[in-house]
Amino acid sequence: MWGAIVTREGVLGVTTSAAATDDAAEFVRLVEPRLAGGYRLAGYLLGDATEAEDATQEALEKAWRGWGSLRDRDRAAAWFDRIVANVCKDRLRARRGVRVIELDADSGVGPRARDPFRDALARDEVGRLVCRLPEDQQIVVALRFWRDLTLDEIAERLDVPPGTVKSRLHYAMRTLRGELDRQGKVSR
């Protein structure tokens, strides 16, 4: 039995039964409100609007494929955030060892549109420092301070104990404070 997910960009599946149609409608109802937040999370973690779009689309597809395995539909928000975070983590890992050459927007090469995530991170000293943290710490910092989630909500989304979230956040904040202190940008 297939279900249909129709987005502005296209169709992810084809409906063949009424039950599949209901299941697809429930998926859209529960996940669609989370897409903008998932995109912002991906954009912050990846620092690139185009890659954030791709990561969000990949997460949406993974969510649809795994929809039948979600036992508690009330936890769809946490479940989708976990998928977005894992997709971003995989993409960050894949970047290791890859040399990136930035194209100048004025050079006539590459896209003309400004990237809102790249621009924001370039202006934000803390954002630049967060990008240097290990992936697990970046995700916790993003969920805590950019998504304004509680530690328990983060633990639920990442499927880790709250103590793990606290530890990752503690070490991330210690690293950030140390670097800002080293640069003389922290006042006590």
Give the per-residue pLDDT at 1. 40
For residue 168, give both structure tokens: 């990752």
Q: Name the packing angle between helices 151-158 and 76-95 (round to 10°).
A: 70
Rg from Cα positions in the chain: 19
Contacts of residue 87, Cβ cutoff 8 Å, sequence gap at least 6: 42, 55, 58, 59, 62
Instruction: Specify the pTM.
Output: 0.67
Neighbouring residues of 38: CB distance < 8 A, sequence distance ≥ 6: 56, 59, 60, 80, 81, 84
| Residue 77: per-residue pLDDT | 87
Ordered per-residue pLDDT tens for the chain, 188 residues: 444 454 545 445 544 556 567 778 888 888 888 888 899 889 888 888 889 999 999 999 999 999 888 888 888 888 999 999 999 999 988 887 655 555 555 554 555 556 666 666 566 677 778 888 998 999 999 899 888 899 999 999 898 999 999 999 999 999 998 988 888 776 55
Q: What CA–CA distance (Å, rounded) separates 179 from 129?
A: 8
All structural domains of the chain, each given as residue ranges with its CATH number in brackets, are: 1-113 (1.10.1740), 124-188 (1.10.10.10)
| SS3 label, residue 7 | strand
